[in-house]
Amino acid sequence: MEIVENGIDAVKKAKQTLYAVIILDCQMPEMSRLEATLAIRKAGINRNTPIIGLTAMPASLLEDEWVVAGIDSYVTKPLEGREFVDTVYRLACGDKEND
């Protein structure tokens, strides 16, 4: 797992490397998650990579972001261990198996 600290670095990384899953925190300096998601989607290689948003609020409140940017899933903080791992696993592997 590679870790970056802000949206800009995430976009930079996402231009170079193909990831199975990208996890974005809700509040990041420099660039909002919505902007970062849109940029990653535009950047090319990770166009179809599942993006998981970490959020402290109910996912239903993030509808704008969800609809506009197409974030694939949200995991609500506090992270619940199994749910989180399952979500990452499902998005990283599960969806591909179904293709």
Partner 1 sequence: MVRKPDFKILYVDDEPKSLRYFKKTFSSDFIIVTADSGAEALDILSDAGNNIGILIADQRMPEMTGVEVIQKARSFAPEIVSLLITAYMDLDVALDAINGGHIFQFICKPWSTDSLKIMLLEAAQEYERNRHCLILEQKNRELEESRRTQERFIYTLSHEVRTPVGLSLNYSDALLESTLSEEQREYATSINVVNQSLLSVLDNTLDYSMWESGKLVLHEFPFKLSDLLERIEQAFGLQFKTANVNFVLKRSTEGIDNLVGDPDCLFQVLVNLLSNAIKYSAAGKEIELSIEILKSSDRSVDLRFAVTDTGEGIAKAIMDRLFKPFSQLQTAREGSGLGLLISKELVTMMGGEIGVNSEQGKGSEFWFEVEFWLGSDSSDGEEPLNGSRTVEGIPILLAEDSAVGQAMVDGLLSPGIQRGDR
Chain positions contacting partner 1, by CB under 8 A: 1-7, 9-10, 13-14, 17-25, 27-29, 36, 54, 56-61, 63, 76-86, 88-89, 92-94
37 and 49 Cβ atoms separated by less than 8 Å: no
CB half-sphere exposure, 39, CA atoms < 13 A: 16
Min. distance of Cβ 2 from partner 1 in angstroms?
A: 5
Min. distance of Cβ 14 from partner 1 in angstroms?
A: 6
Min. distance of Cβ 47 from partner 1 in angstroms?
A: 14
Tokens 């609500």 correspond to 76
Residue 44, both tokens: 């090319």
